[in-house]
Structure 1
Amino acid sequence: MSLRGLLADTRPLQNPYFRRLWTANIITVIGAQLTVVAVPAQIYADTDSSAYVGLTGVFGLVPLIVFGLWGGALADHFDRRTILRVTTTGLIVTAALFWLQAAMGNTNVWLLLCLFSVQQAFFAVNQPTRSAVLPRLVESDLLPAANSLNMTVFQAGAIGGPLVAGALIPVVGYSWLYLADAICLLATLWAVIRLPSLPVEGATGTPGLRSVVEGFTYLRTQPVLLMSFVVDIIAMLFGMPRALFPEIAHESFLGPEEGGLAFAVLFAGIPAGAVLGGVFSGWVSRISAQGKAVIWCIVVWGLAMVGFGVAVGFADAAPDAARLWLVIAVLMLIVGGAADMASAAFRTSMLQSAATDEVRGRLQGIFIVVVAGGPRIADVAHGASAAMVGTAVAAAGGGLLVVVLVVVAALAVPSFVRYRVTTAARS
């Protein structure tokens, strides 16, 4: 295969609606990451308390779950272009309010946390809707490529945004970062306004609790779609060792307690791998056996986490070679990040193409909850297991469990492994 064939498949960008959304997202994701960094930094500066910073997890996750599920129901009831316009405007307004409170010298942490919750609520409705419209814009055989392009931009922002924010906060303060986020979001609003009308195809019902329950009921009757969630939970719950990075950076790779190079590169490893995986994602459009591809990607993710844990163990045993093992550990995280990017692209495409249009929003809402909640539960599980068996065993053992459990899941539901994408025009 030529290098050109390996590079990202850019054919989805030929669609003007997708191209505008994707281009706007390049601008918006940087602004969003500035706020992601600025909020906890401002809270810590105002309170000198990591406990208050930790509350962002609660104030962010609860609206993400509640409005993620309800937002999916809304996306299956109202015109999706209208929902995107309203929620994007809401995100702009909350970013502007972040700027206003910082510019006025606010030090009330509860006001900041409440604004953060409102922002996450708008985000939780926006994201399922945005994913649900993709099959209406892009042909089904190009969905993996389109999702890879979206994820590459997001992961690149996850690397670059914090670096930019960290450098700018001491120079310009928090308020200008929030203002930059609000201005950047105008690009997405422009792209959303240019979308065609996107009413739901099929019966819509009412966007209440019953509609949310109906989404779960539908998912239960679709073993292939249900398995796409199960394998993701397996991968994240047992194979995401990020909660161990601070201890590993300090104890195993001899970095300072307050952070340092080892700490930074460990956190950057998985996003960097995802970006590389996105850049060289041209192959994903040529894979029709998407179920089998997901299983292999998650196996590679699990093995990479095993390798990461082994590298940590060797660094513990040979402190003189800690730098060498740090390089190997980061390489394992990069491999894992690339595999996870491909897995996510395939799983998202399966949800978008295999589900009928009238339930796509609700399934994307469930997807957002799983993606957000899985790593947070993993933080608790890895932290507890590392306290008992050490970081190396916790990381390597978690990776091994991923491999074993995903193989068991594949054997239990062979229809998932047999799933192949259809290329029969648009959804």
Structure 2
Amino acid sequence: MPDRLKRLLRHLVLDLSPLRSSRDFRLLFSSGFVTMFGTFVSMVAVPYQMKELTGSYLAVGLVSLAEFVPMVVCGLWGGAIADALDRRKIIVLSELGLLLTSLGLMVNAMLPTPQVWVLYVTGAIATGVGSLQRPSLEALIQQVVPHDQQGAAAVLNSMRWNIGAIAAPALGGFLVAALGPAAAYGIDALTFLLSLMLLYRIGSVPPGEDAAPASLRSLAEGIRYAAGRGDLLGTYLVDIAAMVFAMSTALYPFLADELGAPEALGLLYSAGAVGALVSSLGGNWAARVQRQGLGVIVAAAVWGVAVALAAIAPGFWAVFACLALAGAADMISGIFRMTMWNQTIPQELRGRLAGIELLSYASGPMVGNARASFMAQLGGTRFSLGLGGLLCVAAVAALGAALPAFRRYDARTSLHAQAEKARREATTPA
């Protein structure tokens, strides 16, 4: 085989070194795969059940809006406690809380008359608990995976997420149609129970001796650090803009009906993950990119273009293809952002910055789905998709021009990346 072809294949084949070198990463990876499967099943069940109970665009969109405040408050506080307490303990207790919320949704769905308010309240609680947990998960990955394997770990996590996002929504759509929402929520609860067994085996991760206690002062310190780095600001702002203007999953139940394929609702939810999985299977190249800032800008623009094209796509499979392209672009953006975060942020600040990151990649979709619902109420589903995609492209282009430190970021010359690499090498046993 020619050497050039061998080098090309090495760039395309998945790098499994993080799974081989870290037992705790294997446990986190396996736990995430199990719970992601159940979570995506419920992701189909909640809007479907809300649509069946109310028949309203706004009621479906407001599910995401109800989750916004808990996400913001708990995400920031979760970052503070991730730097101050045992990260493993936070993760395990949060997983138990998520199990209880899934059981609550299941019980409500089994009632003769399920209550709409339970979907809003339980969804808000689950979002709050998940937001407390997420910064500890992100910070723990930085600790258990070697510095030079962070890009490969980001690709593996994206692949894991995408596999669940393809299979689970399709199964969720089938379960909801055949057995009702209660069955979907029951599967979600079971996945959290299995995940708890895996997470319990992770070693304790106590904070450093000089760790800042969780407080408003420590939160402010993390915010000042993030605000002082233009490259980090770009990772947050570009993703928020892309999600606010082009995220439209709240429209899928209505879009499936308009396309004459209500039984294929799960496939619409899976479309983005299909495109993302195709990209991640050959995603080793993304872990080798050094200009991640520019990569995020390009990927976010492609995401917007793909969503706009979905608005004029003539049939179900054409819409599916556009949404798959959008998912591929979003996955690549996520790999670049995660690599920048884990390779440049000091360990003592990683939890607090993970809380800020959570706001960027979680608040955008929530607000975006509310925006999509309001636009659809005014002009219909296709109007909302098309205008949202075009606004996304314009916003990303403007932010790319306004943030030169982000646009020009290069891991080979970044002082922050080099300093964190040196610190990891100095603290890793020979």
Following superposition, the deviation at residue 242 of structure 1 comes to 4.5
Decide which of 141, 151, 155 is 1:148's aligned counterpart: 155
Find out whether 1:333 has 2:335 as its counterpart. Answer: no
Which residue of the partner structure matches residue 160 of structure 1? Answer: 167
* CA shift digits 1:300-332 (9 cap, x unpaired): 3344345445xx0xx6xxxxxx34xx5444333
- The verdict on how the C-alpha distance between 1:105 and 1:212 changes in structure 2, with shifts beyond 3 A counting, is farther
Q: Distance in 1 between matches of 2:185 and 2:385?
A: 36
**2:142 aligned partner, one-letter code:** P
Following superposition, the deviation at residue 365 of structure 1 comes to 1.6
* CA shift digits 1:27-77 (9 cap, x unpaired): 2222222333344555566x4554655553344333222211211111121
* CA shift digits 1:258-296 (9 cap, x unpaired): 8355x6655433222112222221112221222232223
Contact 1:277 1:337 in 2 (8 A): no
Find out whether 1:73 has 2:80 as its counterpart. Answer: yes
Q: Distance in 2 between matches of 1:404 and 1:265?
A: 29
Q: Distance in 2 between matches of 1:161 and 1:247?
A: 20
Q: Distance in 1 between matches of 2:381 and 2:114?
A: 37
**Secondary structure class of the residue paired with 1:205:** coil
Which residue of the partner structure matches residue 187 of structure 2? Answer: 180
Following superposition, the deviation at residue 122 of structure 1 comes to 1.4
* CA shift digits 1:309-361 (9 cap, x unpaired): 5xx0xx6xxxxxx34xx544433332221121011111122122211222222
- The verdict on how the C-alpha distance between 1:388 and 1:6 changes in structure 2, with shifts beyond 3 A counting, is same
* CA shift digits 1:2-28 (9 cap, x unpaired): 446313322211121111211222222
**Secondary structure class of the residue paired with 2:169:** helix
| Bigger shift: residues 128-137 or 234-243 | 234-243
Contact 1:141 1:285 in 2 (8 A): no
**2:306 aligned partner, one-letter code:** A
**Equivalent residue runs for 1:228-239 within 5 Å:** 228-239=235-246
Aligned alpha-carbon RMSD (Å): 3.3
**Secondary structure class of the residue paired with 1:76:** helix
Which residue of the partner structure matches residue 275 of structure 1? Answer: 277
Q: Distance in 2 between matches of 1:335 and 1:70?
A: 35
Q: Distance in 2 between matches of 1:24 and 1:35?
A: 17
Q: TM-score, normalised by structure 1?
A: 0.82
Which residue of the partner structure matches residue 204 of structure 1? Answer: 211
Following superposition, the deviation at residue 193 of structure 1 comes to 2.0
Identity of aligned residues (%): 33
**Secondary structure class of the residue paired with 2:203:** coil
- The verdict on how the C-alpha distance between 1:376 and 1:104 changes in structure 2, with shifts beyond 3 A counting, is closer
Q: Give structure 2 stretches of 5+ with no counterpart.
A: 412-416, 426-430
**Secondary structure class of the residue paired with 1:194:** coil
Which residue of the partner structure matches residue 56 of structure 1? Answer: 63
Which residue of the partner structure matches residue 225 of structure 1? Answer: 232
**1:122 aligned partner, one-letter code:** V
**Secondary structure class of the residue paired with 2:300:** helix
| Bigger shift: residues 379-388 or 126-135 | 379-388
| Bigger shift: residues 326-335 or 9-18 | 326-335
Q: Distance in 1 between matches of 2:157 and 2:211?
A: 28
Q: Give structure 1 stretches of 5+ with no counterpart.
A: 316-321
Q: Distance in 1 between matches of 2:115 and 2:254?
A: 31
Which residue of the partner structure matches residue 259 of structure 1? Answer: 262
Q: Distance in 2 between matches of 1:351 and 1:67?
A: 20
- The verdict on how the C-alpha distance between 1:408 and 1:100 changes in structure 2, with shifts beyond 3 A counting, is closer
Q: Distance in 1 between matches of 2:383 and 2:179?
A: 43
Following superposition, the deviation at residue 113 of structure 1 comes to 4.0
| Bigger shift: residues 272-281 or 1-10 | 1-10
